[in-house]
Amino acid sequence: MSETQADALVFFGATGDLAYKKIFPALQALVQRGTLNVPVVGVAKSGWTLDQLKARARDSVEHHGGLDQDAFARLCDLLRYVDGDYGDPKTFEQLRQGLGSAKHPVHYLAIPPDVFELVFEQLQKSGCAEGARVVVEKPLGHNLASAQELNRTLHSIFDEKDIFRIDHYLGKNTVQNLLFFRFSNSFVEPIWNRRYVESVEITMSESFGVQGRGSFYDHTGAIRDVVQNHLLQVLTNIAMEPPPGSETEILRDIRVMVLRGIRSLRPEDVVRGQFRGYRQEPGVNPESTVETFVALRLFINSWRWKGVPFYIRAGKCLANTVTEVVVKLYQPPAIFGDVPPPANYYRFRVTPELQIAVGAFVKVPGEEDRGEEQELLILHPEDPNEMGAYEELLHDALQGNCVHFARQDYVEESWRIVDPVLDNATPIHEYEPGTWGPAEAEAIGPHGGWYNPRVE
């Protein structure tokens, strides 16, 4: 039934942080566009009333995107609220009543993963799972074994086609643009392979720390938080084969094939770091060995990419906040003089804004054959009418379009890759906030050193 238009949206965790920062602004935006006109039922255990939830929603949109009086009023007309414990069958009896005649609801679980299974069981017992879809937030497990167990639980209630595993990075237009740029420009594909590409770097740096989420982060770490999901999604968009069509399952098949070609990581492929002061953060174990930084090196066993190293680096309290991909080409030979010019490259900025750049070497004016590096830059200004990531993903879930959601085999393959280096498989190296991580990361980095993104 995944192609059926949903006739209700239920979101668990309606009074939580994710709902406040992302969901309510996305819902108002959908109403603005006229694409949300079904009942929206919030579920939480806070002792709140519907009026209190509406007040929370108003505060949310005022602080995250701006209040649209007309759209917000229409959202309030759609809004319902069920207050109760997720372990209490009466909560789900009220939910079933609140859904009224809806036969194809979408259940969005914006809640901690340790209560997923409880909610799944209650949805099934109450009849709310019948004809429904479910949207599950990351983390989708804590390792490969727990991800497999979560999938078994999901499949005992829902068909795979009705399970939408959300990763908001797939909803970002800048990430989608990696595919569009690759497969819509004939000057890219002929050189997008091991003959011309020396290495690929993916960097996701954040200049801030754990921002009061120490207790959560200390059970997660950088590999689980962003590498296993966001950055492997970026990698598959960079490395996938040209699809023979735009059908959803074809695109998902090709992404999974990329991951299947990656050998599981070994300790010698990984360097973990922790910023100085992390252990003093509220909620963090004073002797924590959880990584706030990771650098890793991997290879894809395919005809296109055999022997090309892919480098991933992610961390908190680094020099700036930016996510960027650099595809470095082999250095050309020296023709004008004895020193070869620097290697050309493609650079894709994913956040905070879209940039696509080509690094080239051009002649400096004058009689001498002397050159300098220049970037040919495409800067995509932010479009106020562009759908945000959560807005687009919620819209897709309501429509039954799963192209930007992770399939079971994709999730399990991504966990397989990182599973051997989770937790304390490698030493932890301290680094100073505001730097690019521990010096030890250079040992597994690209020839010539890591490319450090610049933010003006």
Average pLDDT of the residues of the chain: 92
**C-alpha span between 381 and 171 (Å, rounded):** 18
pLDDT at 175: 79
Q: Report residue 380's pLDDT band, with 50, 70 and 90 as the boundaries.
A: confident
Q: Tens digit of pLDDT for each residue in 301-356?
A: 999 999 999 999 999 999 999 999 999 999 998 888 778 889 999 999 988 888 99
Measured distance CA(435)–CA(255) in Å, rounded: 33
Measured CA to CA, the distance from residue 61 to residue 73 in angstroms comes to: 12
Predicted TM-score of the model (pTM): 0.91
Listed ranges 134-143, 164-173, 251-260, 366-375; the one with the highest mean pLDDT = 251-260
230 is catalytic: yes
pLDDT band at 365 (very low <50, low <70, confident <90, very high): confident
Nearest alpha-carbon partner for 110 in 242, 220, 12: 12
pLDDT in tens, 333-343: 888 877 888 99
What DSSP string describes 113-173?
GGGHHHHHHHHHHHTTTTT-EEEEPSP--SSHHHHHHHHHHHHTTS-GGGEEE--GGGG-H
pLDDT of 261 > 90? The answer is: yes
Separation CA 365–CA 131 (nearest Å): 69
Strands across the sheet containing 354-363:
371-380, 354-363, 345-351, 322-329, 197-205, 309-315, 293-299, 270-275, 428-431
Specify whether the CB–CB gap between 294 and 222 falls below 8 A: yes
- pLDDT for 2: 46
Distance CA 288, CA 165 (A): 30
DSSP string, 330-381: PPPPP-SSSSPPPPPEEEEEEESSEEEEEEEEEEPSSSS--EEEEEEEEEEP
pLDDT for the residue numbered 179 = 86
Asked whether residue 138 carries a pLDDT value surpassing 90, the answer given is no
- Lowest pLDDT segment from 43-57, 164-178, 245-259: 164-178
What would the pLDDT profile of 140-155 be if each residue is shown by its tens digit? 899 999 999 999 999 9
Q: Which amino acid is at 388?
A: G
Please check the confidence at residue 1 and state whether its pLDDT lies above 50: no
Could you report the per-residue pLDDT of 166-212, keeping only the tens digit for each? 877 766 777 788 888 999 999 999 999 999 999 999 999 999 999 88
- Of residues 104, 107, 142, 230, which has the active-site annotation? 230
